[in-house]
Chains A and B, each alone.
Chain A
Amino acid sequence: MKKKIKIKLNGKSIAINYYSTLFNIVQKNKIPLTKVAIELNQEIVDKKKIKSINLKNNDKIEIVHFIGGG
């Protein structure tokens, strides 16, 4: 069995494969990259570089977009 690590994605704890990249997460969740911004541990991530960002245990990812608001 593959080794798993725990991360938080938009506040929700999930287990992912060791050696997963941020790109894997985006792909798996079908995130439309042009319509979102991504934070990793409260730092904004350059969306062009997500393929080379390996995730570690306890990483916190926030993926946000625009919604209706006043």
Chain B
Amino acid sequence: MKKDKLIISKKNFSSRLIVGTGKYKNMQECAKAINLSGAEIVTVAVRRVNITDKKKPLLMDYIDPKKITYLPNTAGCFTSKEALRTLRLAREIGGWKLVKLEVLGDKKNLFPEMIETLKSTEVLTKEGFKVMVYCNDDPLMAKRLENAGACAIMPLAAPIGSGLGIINEINIKIIRKQTKLPLIIDAGLGQASDAAIAMELGCDGVLVNTAIAKAKKPFQMALAFKNAVIAGRQSYLSGRIKKTLYGNPSSPKSGII
């Protein structure tokens, strides 16, 4: 297991859990949860600097970008134009080329707008970005994103923040079979076992934010997700037994008294 690394755009990561940095009570809670989760990659948003309140804590003062990989995200963008603008700014902040593209299409269900997402992937790839793409769980669209140059496919398990877990395991399995790119479940996980299931389906990693940040005990949940991802990965690599309709005794049938 020691050599089992998550490789994204030629960069190696030991942890297969990526966590979001939003929705925490404060920066201290966020930083501690990330530490407990063991995550080496965190998603971050690009927003206006607060000009009037300069005492507001800065993310970079709590999470060191030299130790943890910042993955700028276009959360809140509803058009390709907005997403491109956001990621170009993100690159300018500190030279980040590895980014997460997320173009939403509907304010209620927060499903990705896949036409705009595909267009943005093409443009960003040409500009030298390494684009991890949030998408729906459609194998055909996943293929098109791969052809457009995505460096990781990130299908949703369920709507963002819904906590429903993986709704369509079949599609995730199909996407797994068709791509060698890192496949990372992004959005919709609710509890640690959801992450274990994702890993057992053969996903390379999971991205979790709300399920940890909004749990009653975020630190304990961060640890639970860490363990679930490790357990799920080990289970996947171990090769599970075949399912059978009838029972098969665990003790020898011979020598019964």
Where the two chains meet, the residues of A that have a C-beta atom closer than 8 Å to any C-beta of B are: 9-12, 29-32, 34-39, 42, 44, 47, 62-70
Of the candidates A10, A34, A47, A70, the one whose C-beta lies within 8 Å of that of B49 is A10
Q: B interface, how many residues as a size bin?
A: 35 or more
Known: A11-B48, A44-B92, A64-B89. A70 touches B22 (CB 8 A): yes
Q: Say yes or no: B59 contacts A68, CB within 8 Å.
A: yes
Q: How far is the CA of A32 from the CA of B94 in the complex (A)?
A: 12
Q: How far is the CA of A65 from the CA of B45 in the complex (A)?
A: 8
Q: Say yes or no: A70 contacts B210, CB within 8 Å.
A: yes
Can you name 23 A-B residue pairings with CB atoms under 8 Å? Answer: A10-B51, A12-B51, A12-B52, A29-B51, A32-B58, A35-B60, A36-B49, A37-B46, A37-B92, A62-B48, A63-B48, A64-B46, A65-B58, A65-B60, A66-B44, A66-B93, A67-B21, A67-B45, A67-B59, A68-B21, A68-B30, A69-B47, A70-B20
- Report the minimal beta-carbon distance from A27 to chain B, rounded to whole angstroms: 13
Q: Is B43 interfacial (CB 8 A cutoff)?
A: yes
Q: Say yes or no: B93 contacts A44, CB within 8 Å.
A: no
Q: How far is the CA of A18 from the CA of B49 in the complex (A)?
A: 24
Tally the A-B contacts, defined by beta carbons under 8 Å. Answer: 95
Residue of A nearest to B74 (CB): A69
Residue of A nearest to B102 (CB): A70
**Known contacts A29-B54, A69-B20; can you find 13 more A-B pairs with CB under 8 A?**
A30-B54, A37-B89, A44-B92, A62-B48, A64-B89, A66-B45, A66-B59, A66-B90, A67-B21, A69-B21, A69-B44, A70-B21, A70-B73
Of the candidates B30, B47, B58, the one whose C-beta lies within 8 Å of that of A35 is B58
Residue of A nearest to B70 (CB): A66
Q: Which residues of A contact B49 (CB under 8 A)?
A: 10, 31, 36, 63-65
